[in-house]
Amino acid sequence: MPKVILDCDPGIDDALALLLAAASPELEILGITTVSGNVPADMGAQNARKVLRQAGRPEIPVYIGEMAPLEIPYVDAMDTHGRDGLGESFLPEVPGPFPETSAVEFLEETLEREEASIIALGPLTNLARLFRKRPDLVRRVPRLVSMGGNFRSHGNCSPVAEYNYWCDPEAARDCFQVMAEAGKKLEMVGLDVTRKIVLTPNLLSYMERLDPETGAFVRKITGFYLDFHWEYERIIGCVINDPLAVAYFLEPSLCRGFDSFTAVETQGICRGQTVVDSMDFWKKQPNSHILTETNAGGFQRFFLSRILRKPDGTHWKPEELARPEWLA
Ligand code: RIB
Ligand code: CA
């Protein structure tokens, strides 16, 4: 059973990713760490607890991480995720103090004790802080899967940059560099694949039919996100980036890509851009696996079969679900 730490900035799509991870019995989730991104890390930690309560997994510990990027001023994404980070659902808070241990301390203590993979769904500030202090610990991370970056797809917060790596470009740069020095590959689940994962009103209605309780929760936190996508991109539906990173970790066959050396620009108008050396100009050892194709229908069935339950509490089997094309 793979041991995993989820590093995130919940955030609406992070919340859906946490629902998926919490419903996946093959994962041993050692803890959740939050980082300032969509919302400040402390708000994200409270949101993570709200999602774990919904998922029936309140025992999973949540640690508050870095409140600001390594070097540049913090810019949140509350315009997209709402003032509470969960689509202005303003769900009741989960009482109780958070651990004194910070996210970076938790990561360091855990990786000293045992190996654990990391699924990163937000800016990479926590990981960069950890690896700056303890570069040796990268060898204790079997897989580092990061939702972030883009290869051929355009950016979502500048013409060339994706938010997680734009929000803290120095952290992203450092993580790709550390992976290069360790001879490892960061598995980059970027916009090239996540843009194909769209939660549509049809799909939302279908989810509510299959599992009214979970469907209602998903509708409650995604309404704001749907409005944002109509307002700014004139699309009906919302791109849910983060759940694909969790699904890909669990089922790598859902995506395809290639190995490459990747660097991250930190200065000027291209700040946060992932420069993927797909043609091997620089003749450098690959430090990344760049995902470029995904089976969106396969993801949909995987996602729904994991997070939705029948009235008797059992899960729907993928083969019991409508064919994705019926729900387009
Ligand atoms: O660019 C999309 C990514 O930035 C997602 O992880 C979203 O939650 C935000 O963190
Ligand atoms: Ca995120």
Structure tokens at 4: 């995993």
What residues line ligand 1, using a CB cutoff of 6 Å?
A: 9, 11, 13-14, 37-38, 121-122, 147, 156, 162-164, 241-242
Probe target for ligand 1 pocket from 19, 163, 232, 238, with the most ligand atoms within 8 Å of CB? 163
> What is the 164 CA–ligand 2 centroid distance (Å)?
7
> What are residue 146's phi and psi, to 5 degrees?
-125, 125
What pLDDT, on a 0 to 100 scale, did the predictor assign at position 317?
Answer: 87
Helix %, strand %, coil % of the chain (to 5): 45, 15, 40
Contacts of 251 (CB under 8 A, 6+ apart): 298, 302
CA triplet 169, 173, 176: central angle to 5 degrees? 140
CA-proximal residue: ligand 1, atom 10 (nearest): 122
> Quick one: which atom of ligand 1 is closest to the CA of 122?
10
> What is the 243 CA–ligand 2 centroid distance (Å)?
9
> Quick one: which atom of ligand 1 is closest to the CA of 123?
10
> Quick one: which atom of ligand 1 is closest to the CA of 164?
4
Nearest to 186 by CA among 160, 200, 165: 165
User: Per-residue pLDDT averaged across 113-140, rounded?
Assistant: 98
User: Per-residue pLDDT averaged across 271-299, rounded?
Assistant: 98
Nearest to 271 by CA among 63, 71, 48: 71
The helix/strand/coil state of 30 is: strand
Residue 79 to residue 239: CA distance in whole angstroms: 15
Nearest to 41 by CA among 109, 96, 104, 91: 104
| Ion ligand 2 neighbours, Cβ < 5 Å | 9, 11, 14, 121-122, 242
Residue 77 to residue 58: CA distance in whole angstroms: 26
Percentage above 70 pLDDT, the chain:
99
Which pLDDT band, with edges at 50, 70 and 90, does 318 fall under? confident
User: Per-residue pLDDT averaged across 189-210, rounded?
Assistant: 96
Contacts of 300 (CB under 8 A, 6+ apart): 197, 203, 324, 327
> What is the 269 CA–ligand 2 centroid distance (Å)?
23
What pLDDT, on a 0 to 100 scale, did the predictor assign at position 74?
Answer: 98
Structure tokens at 279: 């043609």
> What is the 75 CA–ligand 2 centroid distance (Å)?
14
Structure tokens at 81: 């995720």
> Quick one: which atom of ligand 1 is closest to the CA of 81?
8
What pLDDT, on a 0 to 100 scale, did the predictor assign at position 20?
Answer: 98
Torsion angle of the four alpha carbons 100, 84, 40, 60, in this order, in degrees rounded to the nearest 10: 40
What pLDDT, on a 0 to 100 scale, did the predictor assign at position 207?
Answer: 95
Probe target for ligand 1 pocket from 8, 14, 34, with the most ligand atoms within 8 Å of CB? 14
User: Per-residue pLDDT averaged across 188-203, rounded?
Assistant: 96
193-196 contacts at long range (C-beta below 8 A, 24 or more positions apart): 193/244, 193/255, 193/257, 193/291, 193/292, 193/293, 193/294, 194/147, 194/239, 194/240, 194/241, 194/242, 194/244, 194/245, 194/294, 195/153, 195/239, 196/294, 196/296
Q: Is the pTM of the predicted complex or chain greater than 0.95?
A: yes
> What is the 311 CA–ligand 1 centroid distance (Å)?
33
On the question of pLDDT at 327 being above 80, the answer is no
8 A C-beta contact, residue 288 and residue 280: no
